[in-house]
């Protein structure tokens, strides 16, 4: 059932090895996220247009996947060499479906009886949906000021929803103290497989751009799983001789009211510090202390990328501007990425002939 | 730019021919919907996973399409041989994207300067998005009790939205009297191309089921464009020798509070009568006098199908049941289709070994 090419798990921070045939959370030595290591052999993507096209670099056989046909989202033109990767087209309307499909598939395969996670919104909906598809009970905790559409979405799938004062970090603490004892924790980067789902965004770009990578990738960053995943995927592609040593310059976009990755990058720190009073209505960006912050910083530096914070007042107008220009349903997080792209273009950091991919991470519908 | 295999347009009712190289609305002789006729030549679907895979049976070349990567939505298992065609995965979260992509592509190609339509909700959002993608101004009119998410979605794309007391028929009347004079009317079946977009649902089923068709198709019916489109597509497939004379039995599902097609079917009438007081919270089904009602009735009878009305109180619980069972975000219209499927199974009309496809026509998110 598991992919025979998986060699094992190792810690992103200290490298300590872990067994992939049992349920794992974070590194048992240092508490940091675990990475899946493969015996990488070049392959041709095949099968229906979902992320399961990339089975040889995924931890579980697609026949045993909990799948709602996630991934292989379109890449749509926005003019001037800019392409939008429209993640709103995933199940439950966001890129969170990718990670949850993998996490829930592996959790079920390795014997989990129930699932839980804190969420800024979209991850909760995705977990509720994949839990329903897997036949496993789900408990989620979200900040109490999360817009109602995110909350009702979870209930539609039959999940138990707890609303907690504060932000996603507070929701996580609440769940740790009060959540169901038998539930496996699928929090961002606190189990090894969500990043494996998210990395498929990079594989898709490579396939959709006729076996080339873009020059720049602009990515709205909350927990940073996608950034970490794509960076990992590029290394995998190089190991398989799909690409050489060149890399797309990764750009991490955050909101001025919650920008721990930007602060860490600007201050040349090796890790992020908890953001004291996180405030932004782009809820997916309201992640004050991402456990994978240090990996994001490494990815930005190694790819000669950058990090940029967007003013709150710019976010919604930028989302509208992009929607009116393209017909894409842009969410606030995607709006932040678009505003950052404009800034980086006018500052010259993005050059006129750069091929740029901007991520719209979810649908705007849940904000209405 | 236009598909050279298009022979012309003919009236679905009286057969009168019309020129496809100019903008056309309904039949100039009898006022009924127009059909696109092709010189049909068998082909292999090719290209990315969108409805443009079927270019030889679409009126315009895909290079000139106004496209947001619509169509080729997944077919997901719901147990017991039942498959869900999840149309929520289209741009703007509904099957309306299919028709609007074609209608807007053709309207732009043939010189339209602005676009307008009345809508029960989802069509307005799709028109607003495709109008934005085409660079054409859009005006929509909706019943004033349409949920806010549908309305704000249109405004997000920059469309002008008018809220009208009453139902979609009243919105249509309002638009006719008060809408912009220069706007081309893309109302359901009042121009020839939305049905061409919707018919691709049938082509996709054939491709996704390994060149077979299902035994039964359960379809929530408002304006009925999809039903008409699929029925037309099956005839096209037979002309190309893809299938023989057999047909899936088409089932039209409506709400008890607005069921003109069901009434027409049960009373063995050749056309539908306006439903006097349409009431249902499955807004897509609140279409009291579909202009294509007579074509729907013909399609149901010729395929040995049926029509069934679902009680209002059953609709939302059925949507929830299906969502909790599968992880699919089921909208009320999809819930109605699921309730009808259960009824037809327990009555024996659907047999245990029938392969059944149920349409979930849109996302549940806009109802939250």
Beta bridge partners of B86: B360
Q: Please determine, for residue B354, whether its predicted confidence score (pLDDT) is greater than 90.
A: yes
Q: What is the CATH number of the domain that holds A157?
A: 3.40.50.1100
- List chain B residues with CB under 8 Å of A364: 153, 156
CB-nearest to B74 from A69, A76, A330 is: A69
Looking at the fold, whether A330 and A256 belong to one and the same domain comes out as yes
In a domain, B363, yes or no: yes
CB-nearest to A324 from B68, B93, B158 is: B158
In a domain, A66, yes or no: no
Please tell me the number of Cα atoms within 13 Å of B331 on its side-chain side.
27
- Out of B132, B150, B185, a domain closes at B185
DSSP H/E element including A82: strand A82-86
**In this predicted structure, what is the pLDDT of residue B181?**
95
Nearest-Cα distance to chain B for A115, in Å, is: 14
> How far apart are the C-alpha atoms of B97 and A279, rounded to whole Å?
35
Question: What average pLDDT does this structure show over B37-42?
Answer: 98
**Residue B120: pLDDT band with limits 50, 70, 90:** confident
* Residue B36: φ, ψ to 5°: -90, 130
Task: Please choose, from the candidates B328, B290, B205, the residue with its C-alpha nearest in 3D space to the C-alpha of residue B337.
Answer: B328
Looking at the fold, whether A205 and A172 belong to one and the same domain comes out as no
CB-nearest to A157 from B89, B158, B323 is: B323
Give the count of domains, chain B: 3
In a domain, A63, yes or no: no
- Helical residues (DSSP H) of chain B, grouped into ranges: 96-109, 122-134, 148-156, 168-178, 194-198, 200-208, 225-239, 260-266, 293-302, 312-326, 332-346
Q: Taking CB atoms and an 8 Å limit, are B91 and A328 in contact across chains?
A: yes
- Burial state string for B316-334 with b = 16 or more CB within 10 A and e = fewer than 16: bebbbbbbbbbbbbbbbbb
User: What does the longest C-alpha to C-alpha distance in chain B come to?
Assistant: 54
Nearest-Cα distance to chain B for A29, in Å, is: 36
Looking at the fold, whether B290 and B172 belong to one and the same domain comes out as no
Looking at the fold, whether A152 and A265 belong to one and the same domain comes out as no
- Out of A185, A203, A235, a domain closes at A185
Nearest-Cα distance to chain A for B165, in Å, is: 22
CB-nearest to B365 from A153, A323, A328 is: A153
Looking at the fold, whether B214 and B275 belong to one and the same domain comes out as yes
* B137 → chain A, closest CA residue: A324
What number of other Cβ atoms are within 10 A of residue A171's Cβ? 26
Q: Taking CB atoms and an 8 Å limit, are A323 and B157 in contact across chains?
A: yes
CB-nearest to B156 from A49, A152, A320 is: A320
Chain B positions with Cβ closer than 8 Å to A:
48-50, 66, 68-69, 72, 74, 76, 86, 89, 91-93, 129-134, 148-149, 152-153, 156-158, 319-320, 323-330, 363-366, 368
CB-nearest to A132 from B72, B91, B327 is: B327
Question: What is the signed CA dihedral for B340, B342, B344, B345, rounded to 10 degrees?
Answer: 160
Q: Taking CB atoms and an 8 Å limit, are B69 and A92 in contact across chains?
A: no
**In this predicted structure, what is the pLDDT of residue A154?**
97
Q: Which two tokens stand for residue B365?
A: 């998110």
Q: How many CB pairs under 8 A join A and B?
A: 128
Looking at the fold, whether B141 and B17 belong to one and the same domain comes out as no
Q: Taking CB atoms and an 8 Å limit, are A153 and B328 in contact across chains?
A: no
* A69 → chain B, closest CA residue: B74
Question: What is the signed CA dihedral for B74, B245, B253, B121, rounded to 10 degrees?
Answer: 60
Q: Taking CB atoms and an 8 Å limit, are B76 and A92 in contact across chains?
A: no
DSSP H/E element including B45: none
Nearest-Cα distance to chain A for B320, in Å, is: 6
**In this predicted structure, what is the pLDDT of residue B309?**
98
In a domain, A64, yes or no: no
Task: Please choose, from the candidates B249, B279, B255, the residue with its C-alpha nearest in 3D space to the C-alpha of residue B336.
Answer: B255
Looking at the fold, whether B199 and B250 belong to one and the same domain comes out as yes
Q: Taking CB atoms and an 8 Å limit, are B89 and A89 in contact across chains?
A: yes
**In this predicted structure, what is the pLDDT of residue A120?**
86
Looking at the fold, whether A173 and A205 belong to one and the same domain comes out as no
Looking at the fold, whether B219 and B327 belong to one and the same domain comes out as yes
Nearest-Cα distance to chain B for A294, in Å, is: 34
Q: What is the DSSP string of A7-71?
A: EEEEETTT--EE-TTS---S-TTT-PPEEEEE--------SSSSGGGGGGGSSB-GGG---S---
Looking at the fold, whether B296 and B363 belong to one and the same domain comes out as yes
Q: Can you point out the beta strands (E) in A248-346?
A: 249-255, 306-310
pLDDT along chain A (368 residues), means of 10: 97 98 98 98 97 98 97 96 97 98 98 96 97 98 94 97 95 96 96 98 98 98 97 98 98 98 98 96 95 98 98 98 98 98 98 97 94
Task: Please choose, from the candidates B68, B88, B159, the residue with its C-alpha nearest in 3D space to the C-alpha of residue B366.
Answer: B88
CB-nearest to B365 from A50, A131, A363 is: A363
In a domain, A207, yes or no: yes
Looking at the fold, whether B110 and B88 belong to one and the same domain comes out as no
In a mutational test of the A interface, the residue from B327, B360, B366 whose CB has the highest number of chain A CBs within 10 Å is B327
CB-nearest to A133 from B157, B327, B363 is: B327
In a domain, B70, yes or no: no
User: What ipTM was assigned to the predicted interfaces of this complex?
Assistant: 0.95
Q: Taking CB atoms and an 8 Å limit, are A327 and B157 in contact across chains?
A: yes
- List chain A residues with CB under 8 Å of B74: 48, 50, 68-69
Q: Please determine, for residue B210, whether its predicted confidence score (pLDDT) is greater than 90.
A: yes
In a domain, B131, yes or no: yes
Looking at the fold, whether A265 and A121 belong to one and the same domain comes out as no
**Residue B39: pLDDT band with limits 50, 70, 90:** very high
- Out of B159, B185, B211, a domain closes at B185
**Residue B8: pLDDT band with limits 50, 70, 90:** very high
**In this predicted structure, what is the pLDDT of residue A368?**
86
> How far apart are the C-alpha atoms of A50 and A70, rounded to whole Å?
5
Q: Can you point out the beta strands (E) in A129-285?
A: 138-143, 160-164, 183-185, 216-220, 249-255
Domain that holds residue A105: 101-185
In a domain, A14, yes or no: yes
- List chain B residues with CB under 8 Å of A149: 149, 365, 368
Q: Taking CB atoms and an 8 Å limit, are B129 and A363 in contact across chains?
A: no
Chain A positions with Cβ closer than 8 Å to B:
48-50, 66, 68-69, 72, 74, 76, 86, 89, 91-93, 129-134, 148-149, 152-153, 156-158, 319-320, 323-330, 363-366, 368
SS3 of residue B246 by DSSP = coil
């Amino acid at each position: 059932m598991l992919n025979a090419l998986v060699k094992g798990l190792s810690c992103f921070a200290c490298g300590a090895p872990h067994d992939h045939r049992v349920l794992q959370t974070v590194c048992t030595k240092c508490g940091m996220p675990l990475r899946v290591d493969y015996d990488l052999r070049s392959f041709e993507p095949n099968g229906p247009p979902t992320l399961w096209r990339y089975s040889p670099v995924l931890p579980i056989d697609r026949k045993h996947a909990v799948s709602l046909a996630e991934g292989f989202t379109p890449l749509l033109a926005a003019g001037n060499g800019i392409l939008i990767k429209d993640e709103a087209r995933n199940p439950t309307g966001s890129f969170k479906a990718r990670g949850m499909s993998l996490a829930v598939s592996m959790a079920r395969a390795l014997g989990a009886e129930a699932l839980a996670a804190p969420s800024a919104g979209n991850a909760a909906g995705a977990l509720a949906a994949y839990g329903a598809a897997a036949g496993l009970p789900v408990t989620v905790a979200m900040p109490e000021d999360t817009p109602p559409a995110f909350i009702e979405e979870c209930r539609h799938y039959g999940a138990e929803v707890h609303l907690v004062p504060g932000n996603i970090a507070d929701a996580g603490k609440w769940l740790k103290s009060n959540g169901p004892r038998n539930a496996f924790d699928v929090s961002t980067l606190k189990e090894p497989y969500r990043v494996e789902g998210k990395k498929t965004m990079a594989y898709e770009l490579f396939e959709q751009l006729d076996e080339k990578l873009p020059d720049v990738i602009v990515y709205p960053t909350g927990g940073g799983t996608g950034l970490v995943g794509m960076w990992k995927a590029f290394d995998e592609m190089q190991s398989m001789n799909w690409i050489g040593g060149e890399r797309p310059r990764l750009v991490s976009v955050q909101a001025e009211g919650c920008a721990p990755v930007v602060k860490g990058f600007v201050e040349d720190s090796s890790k992020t510090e908890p953001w004291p009073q996180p405030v932004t209505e782009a809820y997916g960006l309201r992640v004050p202390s991402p456990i994978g912050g240090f990996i994001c910083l490494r990815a930005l530096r190694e790819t000669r990328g950058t990090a940029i914070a967007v003013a709150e007042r710019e976010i919604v107008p930028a989302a509208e501007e992009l929607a009116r220009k393209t017909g894409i349903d842009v969410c606030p997080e995607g709006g932040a990425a678009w505003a950052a792209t404009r800034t980086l273009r006018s500052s010259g950091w993005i050059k006129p002939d750069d091929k740029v991919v901007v991520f719209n991470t979810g649908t705007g519908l849940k904000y209405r």
